[in-house]
Amino acid sequence: MRTSRTVWPVGDTSTQLVTVSGPDHPGIAGRLFAALASLDSVILDVEQVHVHGRLLLCVEIDRWQGEPGDLSAVLIDALGPLGAGLDVAASALDATADNPGGAGHLVTLLAPQLKTEDLAGVCARIAASGANIDRIVRLSSYPVNSYELAVSGGDPALLRSNLVEEAARRGVDVAVQQAGLHRRAKHLIVLDADSTLLQGEVIDQLAERAGCGEHVASITASAMAGALDFGDALEARVALLGGLNASVLDEVAADLVLAPGARTLVRTLKRLGYVTAIVTGGFVQVIDRLANELGIDHVAANELEIAHGRLTGRLVGPRVDRAGKAAALVRFAELAGVPLAQTIAVGDGANDLDMLATAGLGIAYNAKPVVRRAADTALNVPYLDAILFMLGISREEIEAADEASKTGD
């Protein structure tokens, strides 16, 4: 390996793209950068990918005087025995060419099964939006397949509309988010409870025990679809519960069934430093036990009035309705010191619309059509932890965090 500085004949300096590809071994990058340092090169950009033992390392450098072939020869010599089987190439770049300067958006593609034609369709729509794909990373193969694409350039509004249309055509989920350091900053995630964090609706379970299950379920369905005002529907349903023994609340709380992946979602986000909250039109007497079990930081829910050991059919305290949900998100963000741009809201019903619109990222989870159309992105798989992939967290990172917790690392 050359350790002395090489001086080339004076001439016009040029920007070069150095590409190293082939079988990967420890020490390749170190030797390559040492060689570039000896040439007094300035590194403008670096990208390295390792796939099944194969390396692709790209380095953009400035201040090179000489031919690209000369640079390749120097680097091959510097790699020595590590260069065996590697392809090392240098090519001049046009310094005046337009460079978008890094990814502007992150596109997440997700489905139980992703076919080659799905990837082809999404990539074609990105190109049709005037954008370029800078990087593709596979995030998971279980319980769903997901990929993250770093995209630069193009019209963001056109990109979103094109991808929403393509996703609907192919029956896959696509999310488009702004790239940047904010993604790694402190976040707040707010989860609806009924039919989101939980399977089913708590009020429907209470109504079954009160003997008015079908009546309440029909009102619930109309309210969640946006056909009825949620506040009016809530009071009408609660009134039907009047006279129910309050001990039933404990029974329902004990029978709650979480959505698949709910524990993984909450556990992983808490390990990553997220602030967690449940904001629900349901009832605090039922939800508090679940929140304590999961270690949820904040809860906003309605409170049922109880007198002489029975439900009165009325609520007490402020209502957590459509507007109340959005207000709770804002309040919890202020308490956590998290900007609204770094909040995430997840819900399924029409009473979640204001909350989803207020959050930095609103996710419609197996939601009603009116909610899917309004949210930033829709997730239509029955696994709540798939939200992690929307946030750029890979399956390998989730499993590594679980393993570290077992060993105490």
Question: What single-letter amino acid sits at 302?
Answer: N
- Answer yes or no: is pLDDT of 120 > 90: yes
Q: What is the pLDDT of residue 408?
A: 59
Residues 78 and 177 occupy one common structural domain:
no
Residues 194 and 159 occupy one common structural domain:
no
Residues 109 and 241 occupy one common structural domain:
no
Cis peptide before 143 (omega within 30 of 0): yes
Residue 5 within a domain: no
Active site (annotated) includes residue 409: no
Mean pLDDT of 184-204: 92
Residues 280 and 347 occupy one common structural domain:
yes
Residue 394 within a domain: no
Q: What is the pLDDT of residue 40?
A: 83
CATH of the domain at 289: 3.40.50.1000
The Cα-based distances of 232 to 173, 193, 203, 303 in angstroms read 33, 19, 15, 16
Q: Residue 54's beta-bridge partner residues?
A: 23, 51
Q: Locate the DSSP E strands across 209-297.
A: 275-283
Q: What sign results for the dihedral spanned by CA atoms 224, 227, 231, 232?
A: negative
Residues 290 and 174 occupy one common structural domain:
no
Residue 391 within a domain: no
Residues 26 and 114 occupy one common structural domain:
no
Residues 22 and 147 occupy one common structural domain:
no
Residue 215 within a domain: yes
175 phi/psi in degrees, rounded to 5: -120, 140
Structural domain boundaries enclosing 168: 105-184
Q: How many CB atoms sit inside 10 A of residue 53's CB? A: 9
CATH of the domain at 120: 3.30.70.260
- Cα 204 to Cα 282: distance, rounded to the nearest angstrom: 10
Mean pLDDT of 302-323: 96
- The C-alpha R_g of the chain, in whole angstroms, comes to 27
125, 129, 135, 74: which is closest to 103 by C-alpha?
135
In the listed set 184, 205, 225, which residue is the last one of a domain according to the structure?
Answer: 184
The Cα-based distances of 204 to 210, 219, 366 in angstroms read 10, 10, 18
The DSSP line for 303-355 is: EEEEETTEEEEEEESS--SHHHHHHHHHHHHHHHT--GGGEEEEE-SGGGHHH
Lowest mean pLDDT among 11-15, 175-179, 389-393: 11-15
Residues 63 and 131 occupy one common structural domain:
no
- Answer yes or no: is pLDDT of 274 > 70: yes
Residue pLDDT, tens place only, 50-66: 888 899 999 999 877 77
Residues 159 and 228 occupy one common structural domain:
no
Average pLDDT, the chain: 89
- Answer yes or no: is pLDDT of 11 > 70: no
Residues 228 and 330 occupy one common structural domain:
yes
Pairing of strands 173-178, 188-191: unpaired
Say if residues 275 and 186 touch (Cβ distance below 8 Å).
Answer: yes
Q: What is the pLDDT of residue 4?
A: 32
Residue pLDDT, tens place only, 364-373: 999 999 999 9
Out of 24, 118, 173, 194, the active site residue is: 194
- Cα 123 to Cα 105: distance, rounded to the nearest angstrom: 14
Residue 33 within a domain: yes
Angle at alpha carbon of residue 51, lines to 47 and 55, rounded to 5° = 55
Residue 341 within a domain: yes
Active site (annotated) includes residue 192: yes
Within 13 Å of residue 161, how many CA atoms lie on the same side as its CB?
A: 8
Of the pLDDT bands very low, low, confident and very high (cuts 50, 70, 90), residue 3 is: very low
Q: What is the pLDDT of residue 181?
A: 67
Say if residues 241 and 207 touch (Cβ distance below 8 Å).
Answer: yes
Residue pLDDT, tens place only, 381-404: 999 999 999 999 999 889 887 877
- Answer yes or no: is pLDDT of 275 > 70: yes
Out of 192, 204, 352, 385, the active site residue is: 192
Pairing of strands 131-140, 145-153: antiparallel
Q: What sign results for the dihedral spanned by CA atoms 273, 279, 280, 282?
A: positive
Residue 98 within a domain: no
- Cα 174 to Cα 147: distance, rounded to the nearest angstrom: 10
Copy the structure tokens of residue 2.
């050359």
- Cα 48 to Cα 46: distance, rounded to the nearest angstrom: 7
Q: Cα dihedral angle (335, 341, 344, 346), rounded to 10 degrees? A: 110
Residues 76 and 125 occupy one common structural domain:
no
96, 76, 75, 102: which is closest to 15 by C-alpha?
96
Number of compact structural domains in the chain: 3
51, 114, 162: which is closest to 386 by C-alpha?
114
Residue 8 within a domain: no
For 407, the enclosing helix (H) or strand (E) is helix 395-407
User: What one-character DSSP code corresponds to residue 82?
Assistant: G
Residues 115 and 86 occupy one common structural domain:
no
